[in-house]
Amino acid sequence: MSAIPCYPQAMNPLHWSYRTTFLAGFVICAGLLGFALYAQYVWAMIPCPLCIFQRIGFMVMGLFFLAGAIHAPKGGGRWIYTAGVLLGAAWGIAVAGRHLWIQSLPADEVPSCGGDLGYLMSAFPFAKVLKLVFTGSGECAKVEPILGLPMPAWTLLWFIALGIWAVLVTRRRSV
């Protein structure tokens, strides 16, 4: 008799259907957004503009994961949803990377605090808002670690993992 238990394939994410894996991607994105709201309202971690832009990346990814799960196209059509997920992931990786860079600056090189995102959106055109947000501000340099890592490091890891997840699932199931 074998001492190693035999698990059904349904327990292995590598054997899940396209629909199930994309639904899992949506649930993960929704959970990450839920955690961000929990951190904001329960832990009083006020999000800076770059944090809000990272949330937008997870929203885009979540929407494409959900749309892919609902539609579950066959063959090459699946790459359309994966491209949307990757677009959100690329946006998030860029924003989280910039956020981590700002957090790594010495205190004397951190840009001064600017207005919050709501004020910036009402006072400036969108292109100017993007420039101001990516320039960074003092509030973006504040490091509040969660399990030893700052929030942008966690989001960066999740953007990369979910992007890879979408590609692997689509490559495996597009034939």
Which CATH number is 145's domain given?
Answer: 1.20.1550.10
Q: Do 82 and 167 form a contact (C-beta atoms < 8 A)?
A: yes
Q: Please check whether residue 149 lies inside any domain of the structure.
A: yes
* Span 112-130, average pLDDT: 68
Three-class SS state of 73: coil
**pLDDT computed for residue 49 by the predictor:** 82
Q: 92-117: b or e for each residue (b if 16 or more CB lie within 10 Å)?
A: bbbbbebbbebbeeeeeebeeebeeb
Higher pLDDT, 146 or 100: 100
Q: How far is residue 166's CA from residue 175's CA, in Å, rounded to a whole number?
A: 15
| Residue 118 pLDDT > 90 | no
Q: Please check whether residue 8 lies inside any domain of the structure.
A: no
Q: How far is residue 12's CA from residue 52's CA, in Å, rounded to a whole number?
A: 34
Q: Please check whether residue 119 lies inside any domain of the structure.
A: yes
pTM over 0.95: no
| Residue 88 pLDDT > 90 | yes
| Residue 45 pLDDT > 80 | yes
Q: Please check whether residue 44 lies inside any domain of the structure.
A: yes
The pLDDT confidence band at residue 76, using thresholds 50, 70 and 90, is confident
Q: How many CA atoms lie within 13 Å of 111's alpha carbon, on the beta-carbon side? A: 14
Higher pLDDT, 119 or 171: 171
The pLDDT confidence band at residue 174, using thresholds 50, 70 and 90, is very low
Q: Please check whether residue 11 lies inside any domain of the structure.
A: no
Residue-number span of the structural domain to which 113 is assigned: 18-173
Total domain count for the chain? 1
**pLDDT computed for residue 127 by the predictor:** 74
Q: Please check whether residue 13 lies inside any domain of the structure.
A: no
Higher pLDDT, 8 or 63: 63
Closest CA to 135 of 162, 99, 163: 99
Q: Please check whether residue 141 lies inside any domain of the structure.
A: yes
Q: What is the mean pLDDT of the chain?
A: 82
Q: Please check whether residue 1 lies inside any domain of the structure.
A: no
